[in-house]
Structure 1
Amino acid sequence: MRFQGENSTLSFGLYFEAGRVLLSGTIWLRRPNALPDSASPRVRFNTFFSEDEILRLQQWLSTASVSPFVLPHPLRHITRLTDTTDFATVFDVTFQPDQAVPSWWNWAITSPLTVRLEIKPNELTYLIKALSREHWSTNLTW
């Protein structure tokens, strides 16, 4: 995956609680020249979805829709760009206007903060499957 044009890793987890799904994740930038003492360049997010919302997100990702998908706070929405490449699908993830810009940010700053993600086909397939109820544990308590 690429974040703002740099190689990165998306780490995420789904946690189930009282009829909601907590999607928790971190996007790690893999900068080879980063100083050992410096803060790791990463973007974290935690947001709650209802079961229906997480399934609609999974469906939106799999249908190649170009209309924005509204996300819960601290995110705002995700948009699939139509000028995608053959090797990746490109998304813009927009945060709420009050989102602080990290001190390590090295790109043009937009308001609200927007992150561009390029996700390879196999990575997108994995993400879509991970959001599918068929891949969740069978002993969930809603």
Structure 2
Amino acid sequence: MSATSKVVLGVSVVLTLSTVTGVHLKQTWDRQRLHEGVVRDLERLERKKENLRLLEEQQSLTRQLEEERLRRATQRPPRRSTETQPPPSRSTETQPPPRRSTETQRPPQEHCGIADGAYVSVHRSDSTVSQLTLRCSG
């Protein structure tokens, strides 16, 4: 066998082995990526279930808050002012409605139910609900 044919045979064996090894490694990496995708999907589904559970809990709290507000409204007699109110002014200008004071404004959060100074708020971070708060005044 000539030296040239030995070199050609050696180069072809090296190229064949490197091709087989490369294909095997790529298949292994692809399998790992597919498995990671399945794990991410399962984690996403768990987050979705948790968010749905929190939403249901929040809706339940909102219903309880509204029921409590209705109970309080039916238990209290309507307020009647003993003072006489001055007659409305007859100016031609219309006055804008009074602004809400800062004490009665809701904090900058996402609110889901409001009734007579009570509210349910959700503090969000990323795609999950991290804190659920129910506050009632009165």
TM-score (norm 2): 0.20
Which of structures 1 and 2 has the larger relative contact order (alpha carbons within 8 angstroms, sep 6+)?
Answer: 1
Tell me which protein shows more strand as a share of its residues: 1
TM-score (norm 1): 0.19
Tell me which protein shows more helix as a share of its residues: 2
Q: Which structure is larger by alpha-carbon Rg, 1 or 2? A: 2
